[in-house]
Structure 1
Amino acid sequence: MGEVAALNESDAFELVVPVEREEAVRAESMEEVTVSEAVVLVTESWAKAVVLDNGWSVVESVGLDGVDDRTEALLECERAIEDARLPGERAN
């Protein structure tokens, strides 16, 4: 989640939303962390749903040019992530 927070602070994105969150343990330090293998990335002109599966893959892209309310675009991205993930599949 530290990386998600950093992306939210960057100039590259207007919003980064983790869609799935899992508690995990960092192998090297045994520190408890929260991870996300599915996020929605939002800029002024698009929203993209990305999932981690042998690398990050875009599973949906929605144009936002001329759109005032981004709610439907975010929901569409979240639905695409749900469709891309297998039932019961969890973050490692």
Structure 2
Amino acid sequence: MGRLFDGPWPIVIIIVVALLLFAAPKLPAMARSLGQSMRIIKSEVKEMKNDGKTDSTDTASGPVEGKIVNHPPAKPGEPTDGTDVPPSTRA
């Protein structure tokens, strides 16, 4: 009668079956949460590795270069005197 709990495998199987029976609706949310945590940890480890290194392409200390953006032609009813008015299609 005591042979059922002699090894660890029967206990592990019982725990897995109990989890599948009682926690099945919560498993997708737990897996999603675990995946997000793993991504956060991975990015933090990468940042820690790159923390002491200097990047040769870093231009933060140099001058900032701007870019001129051409707006589409004005529609009827919009000002054409050069004032920057956001398009009316933006939400």
Larger Rg: 2
Q: TM-score, normalised by structure 1?
A: 0.24
TM-score (normalizing by structure 2)? 0.24
| Greater per-residue helix proportion | 2
Higher strand share: 1
